[in-house]
Structure formats: structure tokens, C-alpha cells
Amino acid sequence: MTKVYGTGIYDFRRHRVAEYPVAAAAESKAVVQKTGSGGGVPSSITLSEIQRDRLTKIAEANWLKSGDAARPKKEFDPDLVRKIYETELLVKEGSKSVPLQRVMILEVSQYLENYLWPHFDPLAATFEHVMSIILMVNEKFRENVAAWACFHDRKDAFKGFLERVLRLKEGRELSIAEKTNYLVFMINAFQSLEDDVVSRTILRLASLKSWYSLSYGRFQMELCLNPGLIKKWKRMIKKEPVKEGGSHLDPSTAVEVMFVRNLIEEFLEILDSQVFPQKQLSGEDDELIDATGLELVNDACVLYCERFMEFLIDLLSQLPTRRYLRPLVADVAVVAKCHLSALYRHEKGKLFAQLVDLLQFYEGFEINDHTGTQLTDHEVLESHYSRMQSFQLLAFKKMEKLRELALTNIGSIHKRADLSKKLSVLSPEELQDLVCCKLKLVSKEDPWSERVDFLIEVMVSYFEKQQSQKEAINALPLYPNEQIMWDESVVPSINYSGEGCLALPKLNLQFLTLHDYLLRNFNLFRLESTYEIREDIQEAVPHLLAYINNDGETAFRGWSRMGVPFKEFKITEVKQPNIGEVKPASVTAEVTYSISSYRAQIRSEWDALKEHDVLFLLSIRPSFEPLSAEEEDKATVPQKLGLQCVRGCEIIEIRDEEGNLMNDFSGRIKRDEWKPPKGELRTVTVALDTAQYHMDVSNIAEKGAEDVYGTFNVLMRRKPKENNFKAILESIRDLMNEYCIVPKWLENIFLGYGDPSAAQWTNMPDLLETVDFKDTFVDADHLNESFVDYEVSFINPDGTENLNPGPPFKIKLPRTLKPSNGATGATNGVNTVDANFQKETLIIETYTPPDPGPYPQDQPKQNSVRFTPTQVEAIISGIQPGLTMVVGPPGTGKTDTAVQILNVLYHNCPSQRTLIITHSNQALNDLFEKIMQRDVPARYLLRLGQGEQELATDLDFSRQGRVNAMLVRRLELLSEVERLARSLQLPEDVGYTCETAGYFWLLHVYSRWEQFLAACADNKEKSTFVRDRFPFKEFFSDAPHPVFTGESFEKDMRAAMGCFRHLKTMFQELEECRAFELLKSTADRANYLMTKQAKIVAMTCTHAALKRKDFLQFGFKYDNLLMEESAQILEIETFIPMLLQRQEDGHARLKRCILIGDHHQLPPVVKNMAFQKYSHMDQSLFTRFVRLGIPYIELNAQGRARPSIAKLYNWRYRDLGDLPSVKEEVIFNRANAGFAYDYQLVDVPDYLGYPANKISILTTYNGQKLLIRDVINRRCVPYDFIGPPSKVTTVDKFQGQQNDFILLSLVRTRFVGHLRDVRRLVVAMSRARLGLYVFCRRSLFEQCYELQPTFQLLLKRPDCLALNVNEITSYTERDVEDPEPRHHIHLVSGIEEMGSIIERLYQEKLSTPVSSKWALF
């Protein structure tokens, strides 16, 4: 089988693959014109075109393995590589850097894996060979598939290749397209620092050696600012190689010294002289090249400049590269030169300007580069004042002309305009002397140092006061407006192809500080929600059919479900700003609209609006005349829609036509006073965004802009589940404004620095030395199997050996616990064990659990799962402090493991509280239902959020449900107290309240028990003493079995202890109910339950983000965080649940963080392709931690699917085996009746009876899903004997679910599409238990490199559906491995033959009626 890569830390390239765009012309040299910032997606190329293409024919002859196997491949030919590069890959003109169609065809044909890399020699390879590999790697990154995977079979050659790349430009001039491709490769390399070979080579370029290229003045300044580096510099010089004469070699010969500097100077030359190629010829100034100079712009150079800005931003936004390269960027004054460039001000330089601003932001980021600590606002301000004071002192002493500046207060000169004015008194020579010689901000040898505007720009950039990052974020509106919505540079269209860059932050491995982490996530989350809102607006507005009526006003002919024209809009209140702010404290408005045009269902949707829901105010004014075809092509989306502006708002309250409050949840309207809404007019009071309002009012006052608040005419709503963005953005913004504390043990790892195993439990303080595992182990053999590397010794509580041990067990865990054999490599090689090492002894204490009580409800619920050694290892790690990561492949019992961690944790740390977070309500409910089957009292469980009603239980675990349950339980317990009092001949009024019951416990119950114990101490020899003298014998007379036998004192005493335990638990529960007795309001009771009573609180990640403010307000506390499905949760939605509580004395309370997920399955859903591909927003925290090399435990035994089906996906995991159940149970060993094979690929070149609820149909595209549903409704539903399948859905939606039989449709006509993401393949292959039948085009998938291990197995069987015609019932004795003799197997040739088979079966079914529905496919 093909060697499988990507099961270590190298396989986590981002995943999505766009539809393959092609060049507009068929010829390889044709150029596609640039569309937008990232390039558009033109028409798609068909498979037949690919097969006819000359590159495909070359591939078949030279390297394609799936071609004619009999025909030998030709020897490697360097001239062929050169010829392909020069004729197919080299772009000589136009805006694109690569001919995308040609590159894609080569990449799909495995040009890199089968030809370029196997024959690469670092010493002999040609320039074209190296550049071809660079292009193929860049293409893999563009498509988000594993790029470095094939290189790791020859690590020395890989290192040699990277060295060749670094020296590729020496003595050779590259074209602008080649320079761009080279730059993109360097960007990709610096984004792959988790790869050891790449990072060791690439990080040399960002080492201290690069300071040899600094100007002397900047070098002196940096060493003065960082004295600790002087020793490091001297040590580095000593290590330099020495010539024969004893002198050191010239350091500039080392590639790392001048590499980045040379790249920067090359970029500046292109920016200055090649972006506008005719500028030098005309000799005109920059100002003359404005809108009329569009045709003069060299688009290829613009793309290069944009990419170079991306490259520098990446370098400055990661600490390992920022530390020594930021002084280099400042020394050359890249930002200042970009600001003064013609491109920065040009219409085509909009994206470039945004990237320059982002670079400026990161150059001045509030961090100490050498310690990595975030600077506080006070430290930033102090640094600014110190810099200004030093400058003033210098000016006072040395420069007479700047005496006025030296004596002026800082507040009047630290703004750009003021400082420029003060400096204008200097002559050019004096200014140059000040900047270059006295301040040493730039070198005097820099040719730009002759320009006065440049020198002033450098001075101003260095000395002006920068706006605080917190101030900037607080001044930002949370709702998007029309300007940002349709800005393609920041919110690209769905067809982003990955060819260009964007003005967006990236989420990669590391972050500078927590503030940087939050800021990037805030911006991306805001833009992703902006994209979704934009799509909703573009969907809703056209249905309104806006037009201009005879009065010149906007009117509407149509109607829209999500948008309604309103009658009136007025701003009712604008509150004064808070102290220290300029924006209003609040802005309130009222909107009146009518729902008369809607039918009942849509009316109810509008009437369901409630407080805190987000609405959008739209101003629509279409053009009077319809746009012509030419105008339509040139018009922007807002122009086509007639959309003038968009503003968001949040509902405060909603009233009906008579002014009655609707949907009030604040308690102002009692439930029994609620009435249905009256009339058709609704008035909604909304809160506008104060920051946006301040910006709009300022524009009206300063620029004479139109008052947008007088133009609104449409109110738009969104689906409630998709409209949570504002609360989540507020949570992120609140975190940025707090002194955000992540636990110290997690902070460095979280940011991507330090020892990856630092937070592993073996490295943590305050471990649980002895752990009571309760019902984790089924028996002693189970425990022995779980610790095969240890000599297990069982002892009794008194220290004697136990020869007949049984559960429960207490284990004293050694800090250096060895990983189980079943989890080899499961902790990334940590704690490796010598095979010859003598086994250590593990002491296991056995004990007899106390009698729980005489009633059946007193008996604890027991675990029946026989956990594997790896699951036991995960349980041990989860109950200890620190970070636990568990990778759970499909069907390996992730949920059972999580529940057992919670169970053991509850019993060992009863005072601690645990928060459970999942991605979906379904997963949360699965987890909760299993917790209820363990020995955790229901009164300690709480389920928050909207999905609670889906729990398959009679108990209500919502806040209100738990409060009601506590009140009902109080009454039950008080009646028990009254019965106890009667049995003791005492007054029954002791059971009046929880308080009186507490006194009764102390005075009468506990005192009697103590007297009884004292009497027992002197009468142990009397076997009937306990039975005769037990004080509560009458109370327990209703027990199902006699409590005391009188046979032995010890046995009866144990039963008496159990009875007392029952009483103690009863009064403990009453004490817990006391708070609900004292608190009178429902809200107070619910909040007490959440903050004090519940020990295990569960919610979705979305609910946690939405309600963070409420949790902080109520004082919510928790010690442990368990996160299921954590590989499906957005990074920021994983982070917020860690911070739902306030710090205690400056320390985080969180002790354990348990992340359970599978990064080999599908990632979080991000709708915009650009945010996935460019910003990596779909990378979960779990995946990032795995990429960083943080130890994790990988569960290694699946119990879902037949072993044969599991082989289709278990290659993706380290050591995924099968549980005994799937090997031994009959259902897994019997064949699927009527089918020759249990899995099969059915070739669809250009469909036996099973219950319909056992069949699910999956597809990879929504369009196919809808088509299949339509076909089923027409052809299956009308027939009772067929019926619809259990579910027809997409692979993505079916993650986490399973069924006995899966029909998987991968029917594609062009390229593999996004199934090329191996994670989607793993999900698709792992949903079936008994039968998997894949329908696809064989020729399309058999060539796909990433999918080879799976499709090689599938293609070993016939690619026509193989039926066993002798089996016509759903049962067979045939073994699954036996397809029966060949004459029994019938290969279905096509859909017509399948139709005739179904017809025959139909006739047979008519003569043999059946009771249930059967699906025939």
C-alpha cells in the first residue's frame, strides 16, 4: 500500500479546496485578467479536457502511476522539466504569477510526488527544477492540502532543497512573476514553523546574525536599548569560523545575514521604479499619475508589492521572527517609504495601502520583543513620554532652531500636524543631520535620506503618539456598515481562489500576546459575520422590488420574508457621553412597521422577535431608470440593489398596535397576564450602535455628509441561530478591556511558545497522589490489562496483600506513569521506556465500599464499559491537573471516556465544579444522557441553553426544571422527615421547613446515632444487639428486604451504617434545598442553582460566548473545563469558555482543561472561503495545539464498523485497531444479504431490501442532497414497500452520527473538489457500521494522491455494483469475507438493469407482504 504521511505533526495544512479555476483561453500562455483582490474563479475545466491535454499525455508517458501499468515509464529527463517550466509554467507578461490551469493539471498528475522530488539532487538540480518544485508546493498551499508530506522520506535532500532555495537568486535575475512565486514560497515556509526541517532552515534568516546588515547607527541604538544582547552578540562572534590567518570570515557571505535585507531592497526598487513603468520615461511627478494613469500600472508588480507586505506582516506577527527582524524593517524605514510611494495613493493601490497600515500596526505593536511580555497602557505611555523628553533635551542642547519645540509641552507636539510644523523650520541638511546622525533613525547612505518629506515622515512615525489599541477597538462599531460589507479586500466574495493576498490577519501557530490573539479573532469573527449579513441582505432586498414612484419616493412592489418596509423611524433619545468618552452613552430609536402583507407563519416569525435580537436598518433608493446591460456589468452590488446604507441595532422592547409589551422575559408581565398581540402594526424600540452614531454625526458636522438616519426605509431580520455575532463580539471586546488572565500553566502554550509538554499532568504541581477509580475497572483482570508495564500489587486498607481483589480500586499514581502499550506514541514520544527496564510495582488498594442504604434508589449506578488501556490513560490524565488532549477517531468511545473522567473527578474532588462545553446540542445531549447513567446525583447536573428539551429523559435539567425539581424534592424530603419523627414518637412539625429539619437532625437523629454507636462499642460480641437497639428500625421497616438478620454483629452493623448513610444524605439534600426555600424569586433561585448548587454545568460554546457577561455578573465559578468536539469549535469559541469567571486575587481558578476531539475529521464551519484559505479561521485550538506538538492521547480501538470498513480510514491514525465486539459479534461477521461485498466503489461514468431507517444517503454537496431528496420523494416515498431512507444529508452535517448502511454519492464531473480534504474523506468513510457503497467517477478519484490509501482498497473490488442474486431476504448465513461463488455474483451494468431488478423484487414483495418499510436501492 502507498506509504501514508501526515499522521505526525506535518499533516495539518488548512483544508478547503476551491473549485479549480482555469485560464480564459485554452492556450497555456493565455493570461487571465485579475479580478478583485484574490482573483476570481472563471469557468471550470472538464475531465475530458484534462485527459486530452498535452500535459496529461506527458504525465502518462513519464510519471503517472495510474496510467497503463504495462507500459514502462521513461527515465528522468532534466530537459523535460526545463521545457515544461519554460513553455507551461513561466509567465512572461500579464498580472498573474502562474498559469493556474497548467499548474493544477501538473499538481493533480502528481508531478511533484512522482517526478520532481524523487529525482531531485540538491547539487545537480537545475534552476527550472527548483522553481518547478516551488510552484507545486505553492499550489498545494493554495489548495490547502499537505504540502511538505512527500519531502520527509528524504530529509537530507529536503534540507538541501531549502538551502538551494535560499541561494536561488545568487547571480541570476528573476522575472517579476518568478520573484512573486519565490516570495509566496517564503511566506508559506514561514507559516510552517511546526515542521522541524523547515523551521531549522528558515529561522536562521531571522536570527541575530541578520543584524550584521543593520546600519551602524541603528545597531548601536538597538544594543543600547537591549544591553542583554551585547553578551549574546560577543558569544556569536566568537563562534564565527576563522580563516587561516586567524581573522574571522566576512559575515556577509552567510546567506542569513543579507537575505531579508536584500529582499526588502529589491521590493523598494520595484515599488519605486517598476510599478509605474512609464513614469521614468515621462519624467513626471507622482502627482500626475492619478486616475488617468490606470493603464500605466504594472499589475504583476502590484501583486508582488502586496505579497511582500504580507511577507513582512507575517514576519512581524510571530515572536521568533519579529525579535530580530523588526529593527531591520525600521532601519530601512519600509513603512515610511511605502506611505510616500505613488502606489499607496493610487486607486489600484487600495489593498496595498491597507496592508501597509497593517504592517505599521504590527511594527508598533505593544510588546517587549525580547521578553515577549505585553506592554500595559501605562508602560506604552511612559515609553512615549520618555522618547519625547529625550528628543526635547537633545533639541535644547544641540539645535538652536528647535528651541521652541524643546520648551513646548508634549501634548502640543505629539500629533502629526504639530510635529511636522515644528520640524519645518530646519533646512534639508539640518533635518538630515538630525534624523541620520543625531537620532540615527535611518542611515545617511540611504538614497531616500535626501528627501525632506521622507525625513519628516520618519520623524513623525517615530515620535507621534499612537492611538491605544484598546481605544481603537472600543471606537469600532460592532455592526458592519455598507462600506466594509462590499470591500473586497477585507470581505472577499465566495469565489476567492487563493491567488492574491488580503488585508486580513492570519491565525497560524503563534501569537504575540493575548491581546494580539483576541484582536485577530475579533477582526476575523467580525468580518465573517459581516460576510454572512451581506449574503442575507443580497438575498432579502431583491424580493422587495424597489422602485421610484411618481412623487420621487422609494416604493416597493414585492415582499420579502426577512425584510419589511417600515412606516416610521425616529431617534427618541441620545444620552450624554460617559466621562472620558466622546461617543454617546446610548442612542435609542423607534421603528414602526406593518405585518399585514404576511401570511400567518411569517407573521409569527416577526412576532417572535424579542429583547437583544439584532435587526438591520436599510436605506434603499434605486435608480429612476433601470440600469443598462453595460451599467449592470460595471455596477457594484449596492448600486444594483439601490442600497445606500446599512446600520445595525439591538431590540430593547417590542409593542403591538395597542402599545402592549410583547415577548417580555424581564418579569414586567406575569405569565397569567400575557395576551396575544393585537393589530398589524408593531413598534420596536432599538438601541443603535453609539460608536457608529458618533462617526455618522461627526461626518455630517465636519464634511456635510447626508443624515443617513433620515433615509432608512426597510427593517431586516435574520435567522435567530445565525444572529449571535454581536454578543460574541462584545465578549471578545470585554476580554480585551480586562486584564485577561489565562492560567499560568497554560499561557505560554496557548500563545505557542515554550515546552509543549509543560502543561501535561506529569509536569504539574498539586497532583492527586491517590485516586479512587470507583467503577472504572470492571474487575482485577481489567486493571492488570490497563497497566501491562507495571507489576501490579493488590493490598487491603490495612496494608496486607489481597489475593482475591475486586473493584473498586484506589491507585497511588507515580508522576512518571508510563503510557500504555495500546497507545504507542500516543503522547508524541514523551516518557519513552527502555524494553530491558525491570517492571516497577504499582500499589493498588482494594476496599469494600460502605453500604449505600437499604432502598433500591440508594444503590449507585455502575459503569459497564470495559475501557481500553488507552482510554484508562486518558481518564488518568483527565482527572489530574493540567491540559489533557484526547484524539478520538470514529467509534472509539470519546463520550464514554469523557463521562468517566467526570464521574471519577466528581467522587475524588467533590467540592470542585466542572464546566462541559460542546459544539452541538446533539453532542451535549449524548454526553448528558450518559452522565445520568453514572453515580452522579441528578441534583448536581445543570444543562444551559436551548437544546435541553431534546434530552431523552423525563427529568428536566434546565435551570427552571432543576429549580422545580429541587422544590418538589424538598416537599418529598420534608414528608420523609415527618415520617421519621413519627417513628421516633416526636411531633411532626419538625418537618415544617428545611431549617426545622436541620435542628431535628442535630437534636434527635444525630444524637441518637452517637448514643447507639457508644452502646455498640461495648456489645460487639452480641450478634443481635444491632437489630434490637438500632434507633431507626421502625423508619426502615418499609425497606424491600429485612435490614437486619441478627446472624452477626458485623453484618448488621454494616447495614446500620448504610441506613444512617441514607438518613445523612436525606438531611444533606434538605440543607441544599434550604436556599430555594429562602429565595423567593425564580431568577434568584435559578442563579443560585447555577453558581452554587450545580457541580456539573453543561452548555454549547455559542451559549458560553453569548452569556459571558451574565456569568461574570452572577459570580459563576468552576475548576475544570471539559470540551467535547473541540476540533469542530472555532478558536475564539474555545478560548471564551476558559474565561467565564473572574480571577481570584489575580490568579485564574481553572485547574484542568480537557480537550476531546479529532483533528482528522472536519474542522469548524467558516462560510467564506477567503477566511478559511487565507486567514486559516477554520483552524481550531485543538488542531493548533496538535500542530505545536503538545502531547495528546489517541484512542486506538474502534467499536463502530466492521474491521474491513474501518480499514478504509484507519490508515489516517497511528494505531487504530478494533474492539473485540466488532470481531466477535454475529452482526459484524455476517454478510449484507443480497450484496456480494460489504463495501464497494460503484463507477458512475457519465442502484434488496433493508429497513429504511437503517440506511442513510450522504453526499458532499448541498445541491446533490436536494436533488437526491427530490428523486426519493418522487420514486420511493409513494411506495410503502420502499419508503424514504433514514436521512439524506451532507457528509459535513452527518459528522458524529452513524448508521448500519451508508450510500455515499461522490459523483463529480470535473475535479475531486473539496473531498480532496482528507478530513472530509475520514468522516465520509467512518459513518457506516455494516455496509458502505460509494458512487463516484472512478477515473477522477484513482489519481488523487491524498486519497490513495482509501481508494486503493476500494478499487481492489469490482467497480460495478455486485449483487448476490440468490439472497432475497434480509438475513444470510454467509460470512462477510465470502462473496460466494462467481456464478452467484451479478454485476449490475447500469441504471436500466437496476430498474429491472427492482421491478422483479417489487413483484415478489407483492406476493409476500411485509409489515415494515423496506428500502430498495
Q: Are 1129 and 1136 in contact (CB under 8 A)?
A: no
What would the DSSP string read from start to end of 185-220? Answer: HHHHHHT-TTSHHHHHHHGGGGSGGGGGGS-HHHHH
Q: Residue 1000, CB half-sphere, CA atoms under 13 Å: how many?
A: 29
Extract the C-alpha cell encoding 535: 449574503
Contacts with 860 (C-beta within 8 Å, 6 or more apart), sequence order: 775, 852, 935
Q: How far apart are CA 678 and CA 661, in angstroms?
A: 10
Q: Which residues pair with 1301 in a beta bridge?
A: 1255, 1331
Give the pLDDT confidence score for residue 47 in this predicted structure.
55
Q: How far apart are CA 1270 and CA 15, in angstroms?
A: 31
Q: How far apart are CA 635 and CA 442, in angstroms?
A: 46
Residue ranges in the chain whose pLDDT is less than 50:
1-44, 67, 279-294, 821-833, 835, 1247-1249, 1309, 1410-1417
Q: Which residues pair with 1153 in a beta bridge?
A: 883, 1121
Radius of gyration of the chain (CA): 36
Closest residue by Cα to residue 275 from 260, 287, 293, 262: 293
Phi-psi region of 655 (alpha: psi -120 to 50; beta: other; left: phi over 0): beta
SS3 state at 1119: coil
Give the pLDDT confidence score for residue 294 in this predicted structure.
46
Q: Name the residue with cell 412597521.
A: 593
* Cβ neighbours around 283 below 10 Å, total: 7
Give the pLDDT confidence score for residue 832 in this predicted structure.
41
The bridge status of strand 809-812 relative to strand 840-846 is: antiparallel
Q: Are 1206 and 1298 in contact (CB under 8 A)?
A: no
Q: How far apart are CA 883 and CA 759, in angstroms?
A: 5
| The Cα angle at residue 790 between residues 788 and 795, in degrees rounded to 5 | 115
Q: How far apart are CA 303 and CA 294, in angstroms?
A: 15
| The Cα angle at residue 1385 between residues 1379 and 1390, in degrees rounded to 5 | 125
Give the pLDDT confidence score for residue 474 in this predicted structure.
85
Closest residue by Cα to residue 1363 from 1189, 1191, 1242, 1192: 1242
Q: Which residues pair with 555 in a beta bridge?
A: 547
SS3 state at 1287: strand
Give the pLDDT confidence score for residue 79 in this predicted structure.
92
Question: What's 1120's DSSP letter?
Answer: E
Residue type, 339: H
Contacts with 1278 (C-beta within 8 Å, 6 or more apart), sequence order: none
What would the DSSP string read from start to end of 536-590? Answer: HHHHHGGGG-EEE-TTS-EEESS--SSEEEEEEEEEEEEPPPPTT-SS-S-EEEE
Q: How far apart are CA 942 and CA 928, in angstroms?
A: 9
* Cβ neighbours around 151 below 10 Å, total: 24
At 631-675, the pLDDT tens digits run 777 888 888 888 999 999 999 999 988 888 887 765 566 555 667
